[in-house]
Amino acid sequence: MLLAVDVGNTDITFGLFRESELITRFRVTVKVPRSSDEYGELICAILQQKGYSPEDVNEVIIASVVPKIMYSFTSGIIKYLHCHPLVVGAGIKTGIRIETANPKEIGPDRIVDAVSAYEQYGGPIIVVDFGTATTYDIVTAEGAFLGGVISPGIRISANALWNNTANLPEIEIKCPGVSIAKDTITSMQAGLFFGTIGQSEYIIRKIKEESGFLDAKVVATGGLGKIISEHTDEIQVYDSDLTLRGLQIIYDKQKK
């Protein structure tokens, strides 16, 4: 089986594939420093809780935007799963062309999302990932990755709001239902939620205008992508497994 791993700034997300079928997924935080043994034991324990043996895993692929944990993390996989992971980076076959000023600067998470969206939904397509940062990228019908936008994620904006103001509390991020709020918490929720929607709609329209692909499909992913996509007509598809599926697609391309 293939273990696909997305190492983000907030969480590490795992997906276990039997051929092309995603059979289970789980995630752990990256905020806790861990040794290679801790990573290995944690992965094995969770697999067993899910009803699978570590011996079931014979292939691993990783996309990471957190270089500082990669030595311990990959060492843990090698020691406990007994396979050397494929790490998404320069030289990996993806099936798309990176047409930016410096392709090596593009984060592997953006590449994986772009591959997944293009392979599953075709092009031209705009990919929006509502993660720690919110990214917007466009891929043409011919599979050319043209670039995109990186903006602060909704949680970064929320943390800045309550960490830099004396009287504003930490709140749950959700749709408040109204924009004219009558209390502080609802006012903050309205600002964060509707502000994110407004930003997303404007950036998507701007990308379509500049690229000329006015009919480009828009697919979203990421933790808060579901509730955002439900409140805007600019996003046609929400795919929670976009990144994991992209990793599986890329791994298959290396085998072929």
Cβ atoms of 173 and 189 closer than 8 Å: yes
In a domain, 256, yes or no: no
| DSSP H stretches of helix in the chain | 36-49, 70-81, 108-121, 154-163, 184-211, 225-229, 242-255
* Pair (203, 105) in one structural domain: yes
How many Cβ atoms from other residues are within 10 Å of residue 220's Cβ?
A: 29
Q: 136's torsion region: left (phi>0), alpha (psi -120 to 50) or beta?
A: beta
In this prediction, residue 217 carries a pLDDT of 98
* Pair (119, 191) in one structural domain: yes
In this prediction, residue 223 carries a pLDDT of 85
Tally of structural domains, the chain: 2
* Pair (197, 122) in one structural domain: yes
How far apart are the C-alpha atoms of 29 and 11, rounded to whole Å? 4
pLDDT tens across the length of the chain (256 residues): 999 999 999 999 999 999 999 999 999 999 889 999 999 999 999 999 999 999 999 999 999 999 999 999 999 999 999 999 999 998 899 999 999 999 989 999 999 999 999 999 999 999 999 999 999 999 999 999 999 999 999 999 999 998 999 889 999 999 999 999 999 999 999 999 999 999 999 999 999 999 999 999 999 999 889 999 999 999 999 999 999 999 999 999 998 7
In this prediction, residue 94 carries a pLDDT of 95
* Pair (102, 56) in one structural domain: no
Boundary-marking domain end, from 56, 87, 118: 87
Containing structural domain, residue 69: 2-87
pTM above 0.85, yes or no: yes
239 assigned to active site? no
Which residue out of 109, 129, 137, 239 is catalytically annotated? Answer: 109
In this prediction, residue 91 carries a pLDDT of 84
In this prediction, residue 32 carries a pLDDT of 86
Name residue 61's beta-bridge partners: 4, 86
In a domain, 183, yes or no: yes
Name residue 133's beta-bridge partners: 152
In this prediction, residue 123 carries a pLDDT of 96
In this prediction, residue 31 carries a pLDDT of 85
In this prediction, residue 143 carries a pLDDT of 97
In this prediction, residue 169 carries a pLDDT of 92
**CATH number, position 101:** 3.30.420.40
In this prediction, residue 224 carries a pLDDT of 87
Secondary structure (DSSP) of 187-252:
HHHHHHHHHHHHHHHHHHHHHHHHHS-TT-EEEEESTTHHHHHTT-TT--EE-TTHHHHHHHHHHH
Q: Which amino acid is at 10?
A: T
Buried-state track 44-72, b at ≥16 Cβ within 10 A, e below 16: beebeeeebeeeebebbbbbbbeeebeeb
Boundary-marking domain end, from 62, 87, 112: 87
